Structure 1
Amino acid sequence: MKEAITIKEIARRLKISPSSVSRALQDSPRIGQKTRKAVQDLAAQLRYTPSQTARNLRRGKTGVFAMVLPEIRENFFSEVVNGVEELAFLHQYSVALYQSHDLFEREQQILAMLTRTQVDGVMLSVAKESRQFDHVQDLIDRGIPVVLFDRIPPNIDTHQVGCDMEKGAMEATRWLAGRGFKRIALLNGPQPLVASEDRYRGYIKALLAENLPVENALVKRVDLSPEDTIQKMTQLLSAIHPPDAVLAFNDYVALDAMQACRKNGLCINTDISFVSFANLPLTAYMDHSPLASVEQHPYQIGRKAVDILLSVLDIGDVESGFHRIMLEPELVVRVVS
C-alpha cells in the first residue's frame, strides 16, 4: 500500500511550513490567495485526505463510541445497533461493538478494557448474570459518558433510555383479560434483570384491575434458554388448573413455550394463547404466532442513546443533567381472537 499523503509532504514540495498548508486547506484568509490555490491544487492532485484521527485529537475526542450488549443475534439488539450506527455515522462517529453473551465476567472484562481504551462514550445493556455494578460505576467515575439502555440496573446515576415495560405488561395482560382469558400465566425473565421486575409489576397491576386471581403458581421465571423455558411451560401445563393464556418475557420465550404446548397436544390460539414482547418480524410468517406483542422501539432506543452522547459531548460536562428517556410501548395485535 502507498503511504498516505500528509500535510508535511505537501509542505515539503511547496517549500512552505506545515502550519501554512493546514491553514490553506481550511481556506484561512491569513494565507495569501496564490498560496492557498497552490496548496489546494497540489492536495487534489496527490489525493490528500485529512486525517480524522488527527482532527479528533485536536478536538480532544476519539470519534469512537463503544456499545456493549448481550447478544447481537437477538433481533431487538440488532435493531438497537441499526439506530446507533445510523445516527453515529451521520455525525462522523464510528461504533465499536462488544458482546457480553450475558456473562457477568465478560462484561466486567469489556468495561475494564474500555477504561484503558480511549472512547468518547459507552452504551451498555447489562448481562443477565450481572448483580453488582461496580465496573459500570468505575467508567462513570472516570468521566466517561455512559448511557444504559433497555436492561437498566437500579441505583446508578447516569444517562438512561428504555421503554416502559411495566406499562407494556399491564396493557398486554389487560388486553388478554378483555378477550375473556381468566387464568393468565407469566413466563418472566431472570430476577436480576430490572426488565423482569417491570413486567411482573405490570402483570400484577393488570390482574388486580381486572379482578383476576393472583397466583404464585401461575408465575415462572426462566433463564431465557429454550430448555428452561420448555421445562417451566411444561410445569404450568401439568398443574391441576393450567393457564388459558401466557404473557411471555419476549417472543423467543413465547416460541419456545409454544413447543412445549404442542408436545402436550395443545393447539396454539385455540387451547392456549400467548402475548409477548419484542414484536419480532419473523412471527408475521408463522401460522400460529402470539396473539400480540409489545413493541419496544429498539431502533429509536439506539438513536436516543447516541443523541444523549452527542448532547453530553457538545456541552462538555458529563456530570450535570443526566438524561432519562422512557419510550411508550405499543401493543401490536397480530391475531384477533
Structure 2
Amino acid sequence: MKDVITIKEIARQLNVSPSTVSRALQNHPRISSHTRDAVHALAGQLKYLPSTTARNLQRGRTGVIGMVLPEIRENFFSEVINGVEELAFEHHMTVALYQSHDRFDREKQILTMLASNRVDGVLLSVAKETQQIHHIQELQDRQIPLVLFDRIPPHIAAHQVECNMEKGAYEATKWLARRGHRRIALLNGPHALIASEERYRGYITALVEEGLPVENCLIKRSDLTTSETVLKMSQLLSSVTRPDAVLAFNDYVALDAMRVCRSYGLVVNRDVAFVSFANLPLNTYLEHPPLASVEQHPYQIGFMAADILLKVINGKIDPENLQKVTLEPELIVREQSELV
C-alpha cells in the first residue's frame, strides 16, 4: 500500500510549516494567494485527502453514531437503517452498526464498548431479553446522546421514536371483527417488549367495543422464534374453541403460524384468517399472505431518530428537552381479502 499523504508531507515539499498548509487548504485569508495556490496544486497532484478523524478530534468528536438493534435480517430493521444512513450521510457521519441478536448480555456489552470508544451518539432498539435499564442509564450518565426507537423499555427518560402499535392492533382487530370473525386470537410477543403490551391493549379494547368476549385461551405469547410460534399456534388449533382469525405479532410470526394451519389441513385465510404487523415486501410474492398488515413506517422511524440525535449532538436540541415522536400506523389491506 502507498503511504498516506499528510499535511506534513505537503509542508515538507513546499518548505513551509504544516499549520500554513492547513490554513491554505481552508482558504484562510492570512495566507497569500501564491502560497494557497501552490498548496492546492500539490495537494491535488499528490491526491491528498483531509483526515476526517483528525478534524473531528479537534472538535472533540469521533464523527461516529453507534446503532444497536436486534436483527439486521429483519426487513423492518433494514428499512430503519436506510432511514438513519440517509441522514447520517448528508451530515458526513459514520454509522457503526451492531446487532444484539435479542440478547441482553450482548446489548450491554455493545453499549459499554460504544461508550469507551466515545461515539458521538447512540440509536438503540432493545433486545427482547432486556428487562433492566441500568446499562442504558449508564450511557446517559456519561452524557452520550441517546435516542430509543421502536422497541422502547418503559419508565426511562430518553428521546424516543416509535409507531403507535396499540392503535395498529386496535384497527386490525376491529377490521377482523367487522368482517364477521368472532373468535380472534392474539399471537403476541414476549412480556418484556413494551410493543407486546401495546398490541395487547389495542386488541382488548377492540374486542370490548365489538362486543366480543375476551378469552385467555385465545391469547398466546411467543418468544418470536419459529419453534415457539409453531408450539403456540398448535395449541390454538388443538383447542376445542379454535380461532377463526389470528392477529400475529408480525409477518414473520404470521407466516410460521400459517404453515402450522396447513399442516392441520386448514385453508389459510378461509378457515383461519390472518392479520399481522410489518407489511413485509415479500408478501406481494406470496400466494396467500396475511389479509392485512399494519405498516409501521420503519424508514421514517430511522430518519426521525437520526434527525433528533444529530440535532442533540450539534446543540440544536437541549438534551433535557426530551423529544417523543409517535407515528400513526396504517392498516394495509390486500386485494385478495375481498375474495375471502
What is aligned with 2:42? 42
Task: Judge conservation of contact 1:187–1:248 (CA < 8 Å) in 2.
Answer: yes
2:181 maps to a residue whose letter is F
1:28 maps to a residue whose letter is H
Q: Percent identity?
A: 66
Q: Which runs of 4+ in 1 moved over 4 A?
A: none
Task: Judge conservation of contact 1:248–1:275 (CA < 8 Å) in 2.
Answer: yes
Task: Judge conservation of contact 1:250–1:276 (CA < 8 Å) in 2.
Answer: yes
The normalised TM-score by structure 2 is 0.97
What is aligned with 1:130? 130
The CA deviation string for residues 251-283 of structure 1, in whole angstroms up to 9 with x for no partner, is 011011111111111101111100000001111
What is aligned with 1:282? 282
1:259 maps to a residue whose letter is R
What is aligned with 2:98? 98
CA displacement at 1:318 relative to structure 2: 5.8
What is aligned with 2:291? 291
CA distance in 2, matches of 1:316, 1:286: 46
Task: Judge conservation of contact 1:143–1:318 (CA < 8 Å) in 2.
Answer: no
The normalised TM-score by structure 1 is 0.98
CA distance in 2, matches of 1:163, 1:77: 13
Any stretches of 5+ residues in structure 1 without a counterpart? none
Instruction: Give 3-state SS (helix, strand or coil) of 1:315's partner.
Output: coil
What is aligned with 2:220? 220
What is aligned with 1:24? 24
Q: How does 1:286-325 map to 2 (within 5 A)?
A: 286-315=286-315, 319-325=319-325
What is aligned with 1:12? 12
CA displacement at 1:319 relative to structure 2: 2.7
CA displacement at 1:317 relative to structure 2: 6.5
CA distance in 2, matches of 1:66, 1:214: 43
Task: Judge conservation of contact 1:166–1:198 (CA < 8 Å) in 2.
Answer: yes
Query: What RMSD, in angstroms, separates the aligned Cα atoms of the two structures?
Result: 1.1
What is aligned with 2:184? 184
2:211 maps to a residue whose letter is N
1:136 maps to a residue whose letter is I
CA displacement at 1:67 relative to structure 2: 0.7
CA displacement at 1:75 relative to structure 2: 0.9
Instruction: Give 3-state SS (helix, strand or coil) of 2:314's partner.
Output: helix
* Aligned length in residues: 337
Instruction: Give 3-state SS (helix, strand or coil) of 2:62's partner.
Output: coil
What is aligned with 1:65? 65
What is aligned with 1:114? 114
The CA deviation string for residues 183-209 of structure 1, in whole angstroms up to 9 with x for no partner, is 110000000100000000000011111
Q: Give the 3 Å change call, closer, same or farther, for CA 211–109 of structure 1 in structure 2.
A: same
Instruction: Give 3-state SS (helix, strand or coil) of 2:12's partner.
Output: helix
Instruction: Give 3-state SS (helix, strand or coil) of 1:294's partner.
Output: strand
The CA deviation string for residues 159-204 of structure 1, in whole angstroms up to 9 with x for no partner, is 1111000000001000111111111100000001000000000000
Task: Judge conservation of contact 2:311–2:317 (CA < 8 Å) in 1.
Answer: no
What is aligned with 2:53? 53
